[in-house]
Amino acid sequence: MNKQERRYDIDWLRVLAMFSVFLFHCARYFDNEGWHVKNPQLSFGFSVFVGVLVQWIMPIFFVLSGMSSQFALNFRSAGQYLEERFKRLFIPLFFGIFILIPPQVYIERFTNDQFNGSFFQFYPQYFDGWYGFGGNFAWMGLHLWFLLILFLFSLLTLPFLLSLKKKAAGLLIHGFSSFFEKSGTILLWILPLALMEFLFHPDGLGQRNFGGWNVFVYLVFFLYGYLLASDERYKRSVEKQRVIFLALAAITTLIGYYIRRSGASPSFGSLDYFWISLFRSFNSWVWVLAILGIGSRHLTFRNRLLKYGNVAVLPFYILHQSVIVVFGFFFLEWNTAVMPKYLVLSTVSFITIMLVYEFCVKRLGLLRFLFGMKRKT
């Protein structure tokens, strides 16, 4: 894809989604679910905020990643694509697991009275056992799990994505596009999502510890992104229906709030569990479609902010949660209301991340490499 055809709306959505993830993880310090460090005073409001964002924040990331893969394979060979994925995803993941993630695990252990000592005393114990299985070594990188899963998706789906470039597959995709560009038909795409959500037990292969959904759901979202970017008619159709999708997202979010407040918890495999899976998938998908449609309609321009943010988004993602957790740890003894504390935590964390990026990561060749950035020209 040449420069003139670049989808600036996708760049904007990537930057805005990253900022939403940042606000989401700041809110995790205050919500009612477990996290690496928790404020002494929790907030129902932030629990609702987190619950709404969980429905669409990581799905939109995987859809955007699938779209980016489609664009990349238009002008890169398979070898170039894998090399770029390795440098941009695996290298930062490897670096983060050994350097950026240990402070988060240390703070989690320290605040839960599982370790009493300094970080430097803890670091050798970081390699004792596997995190999530009673140990400390964060093999998935905690918040960097997205890089791990996306790297694996890139490897595993490459043969299939390349097969879609063939003429016969192109004709099939064209036929699909002709049908699914019609109003409302793209809502049928919730069925594979609901099936992946329904089939896998949440305590087994269907674990939702990674951003609220299981990895099979994310795989479907990734492939959907690739398909959506493969034909311009999807873009026009989603943009045309964006208001309807947004209305459906708002209505189903409100209904979902009351369902959750009712305490409904159907057993896995039951009919009620299927309906909940279908409803949850529908809500997520219409949020994704609404966001894509709004971006396609209103975010088609480029300016200096986008140029800067598009380069900074990956280093920002790699740094953000570690910075939030460290500041959250130091703010534990600060006795103040939740909202002022949230504003201070988010502001101080954001400024710190940007300073580290601007004056360290961005300017040093080794750090650029470790954070998945291109060489400075």
Amino acid 178: pLDDT: 86
**From CA 291, how far away is CA 59, in angstroms rounded?**
11
> 193 Cβ partners below 8 Å, 6+ apart?
217, 220, 221, 281, 284, 285
Q: Are 311 and 15 in contact (CB under 8 A)?
A: no
- At 4, the pLDDT band (50, 70, 90 cuts) reads very low
Kindly report, residue by residue over 50-59, the tens digit of the pLDDT: 999 999 999 9
Average pLDDT over residues 172-177: 82
Kindly report, residue by residue over 135-169, the tens digit of the pLDDT: 999 999 999 999 999 999 999 999 999 998 887 77
Output DSSP code: residue 158. H
**From CA 125, how far away is CA 114, in angstroms rounded?**
12
**Residue 361: what residue type?**
V
Distance (Å) of CA 54 to CA 235, 238, 287, 327, 366: 24, 22, 11, 23, 34
- The token pair at 5 is 């055809």
**From CA 371, how far away is CA 377, in angstroms rounded?**
16
**From CA 211, how far away is CA 143, in angstroms rounded?**
9
- The token pair at 302 is 């480029």
Output DSSP code: residue 281. H
- Among 23-27, 62-66, 272-276, the range scoring the smallest mean pLDDT is 272-276
